[in-house]
């Protein structure tokens, strides 16, 4: 058996949106192996109730633990906002979500202490970003809004152009009057719409994407626990999906910025 530091990092998401986190990991930690699980048979999690999201998250994490990962990144905002305490109770290895790193970066970026947050309905209703930000700085004012159409828009590939801009304007124009100087993209799909979102705000806000912040936080944790892979070889990537949907390879390429080569179908037992 491999020594622990040579084991892969486990990443999971409700679907393939979490590949934006994998993309950031490859930049920050190029020597790490990555095992990804995407629960494409049961996506999206964003519209599901908290008990269901927790039940699915425990199954997803167990799948990765069975593949001997040294750490788990929850690359799903819905899971990070409702299931992280349960995950940490059930498993002993380091587990981080995308909420804390995103919240920290947003608080650091904001100068007027007024931050906007957008995400799926589950993420916004759960209020986890608000709690995480308030924990860091009680003075911060928060304007939160759910923007559910951004996910299917990114998956359709309509990330620029008049339709994307009009949907972004409909969701975000009310936020312009709220004097936010920083906008946190609270969903893994949203970085693909970053340019369109920036157009609505006309460069008046800093846009913080949690994916890169999560990758940097992962590096800090692996260093602290002496779990960085000592081998200086480009890391491998394995992708497990609970359903090989007709679109996964084209959407995956868009999110990862590279082809998904080693892809396997994985069954999740209830």
Is 76 known to be catalytic?
A: yes
Query: Structure tokens of 129?
Result: 């970003």
Is 269 a binder of its own copies (CB under 8 A)?
yes
DSSP 202-270: TT-SEEEEHHHHHHHHHHHHHHHTT-S----SPPPEEEEESS--TTHHHHHHHHHSS---SEEE-----
- Active-site residue, selected from the candidate residues 71, 76, 84, 142: 76
Beta strands 34-38 and 95-96 are unpaired
Candidates 106-114, 145-153, 219-227, 254-262; binding stretch for its own copies (CB under 8 A): 145-153
User: Which residue from 5, 68, 121, 137 is in contact with its own copies, where contact means CB under 8 A?
Assistant: 121
**Which listed residue (61, 164, 187, 266) is catalytic?**
187
Q: Are 10 and 243 in contact (CB under 8 A)?
A: no
Q: Which residues contact 224 (CB under 8 A, 6 or more apart)?
A: none
Choices 76-84, 196-204, 229-237, 242-250 (CB under 8 A): range interacting with its own copies = 242-250
Q: How far is the CB of 264 from its own copies (least distance, A)?
A: 14
CB nearer to its own copies: give 3 or 156.
156
Residue 260 sits in the site that holds its own copies (CB under 8 A): no
Q: Does 237 bind its own copies (CB under 8 A)?
A: no
Q: Is 187 marked active-site?
A: yes
> If you ran DSSP here, which 8-state letter would residue 8 be given?
P
Helix axes 128-136, 99-109, angle to 10 degrees: 50
Within 96-115, the residues that bind its own copies by CB under 8 A are none
CA distances to 22, 159, 183, 229, 246 from 186, rounded to whole Å, are 16, 17, 9, 30, 26
Say how many residues touch its own copies, by CB under 8 A.
31
Bridging pattern class, strands 206-209 and 182-186: parallel
Q: Does 170 sit near its own copies (CB under 8 A)? A: yes
- Residues lying near its own copies in the complex (CB under 8 A) are found at 40-43, 47-49, 52, 121-122, 125, 148-149, 151-153, 155-156, 158, 162-163, 166-167, 170, 243-247, 269-270
Query: Which positions are annotated as active-site residues?
Result: 76, 187
């Amino acid at each position: 058996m491999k020594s622990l530091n040579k084991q892969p990092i486990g990443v999971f998401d409700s679907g393939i949106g979490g590949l934006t986190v994998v993309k950031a990991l490859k930049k920050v930690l190029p020597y790490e192996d990555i095992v990804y699980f995407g629960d494409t048979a049961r996506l999206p999690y964003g519209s599901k109730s908290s008990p269901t999201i927790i039940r699915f998250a425990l199954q997803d994490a167990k799948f990765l633990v069975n593949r001997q990962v040294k750490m788990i990144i929850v690359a799903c905002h819905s899971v990070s906002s409702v299931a992280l305490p349960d995950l940490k109770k059930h498993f002993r290895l380091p587990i981080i979500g995308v909420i804390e790193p995103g919240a920290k970066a947003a608080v650091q970026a904001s100068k007027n202490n007024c931050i906007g947050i957008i995400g799926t309905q589950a993420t916004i209703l759960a209020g986890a970003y608000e709690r995480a930000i308030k924990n860091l700085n009680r003075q911060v004012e928060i304007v939160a809004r759910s923007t559910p159409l951004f996910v299917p828009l990114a998956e359709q590939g309509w990330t620029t152009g008049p339709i994307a801009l009009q949907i972004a304007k409909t969701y975000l124009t009310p936020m312009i009057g709220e004097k936010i100087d920083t906008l946190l993209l609270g969903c893994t799909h949203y970085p693909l719409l970053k340019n369109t979102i920036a157009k609505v705000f006309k460069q008046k806000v800093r846009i913080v994407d949690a994916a890169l912040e999560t990758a940097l936080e992962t590096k800090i944790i692996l260093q602290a626990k002496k779990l960085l892979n000592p081998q200086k070889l480009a890391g491998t990537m394995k992708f497990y999906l609970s359903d090989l949907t007709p679109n996964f390879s084209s959407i995956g390429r868009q999110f990862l910025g590279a082809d998904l080569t080693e892809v396997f179908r994985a069954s999740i037992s209830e």
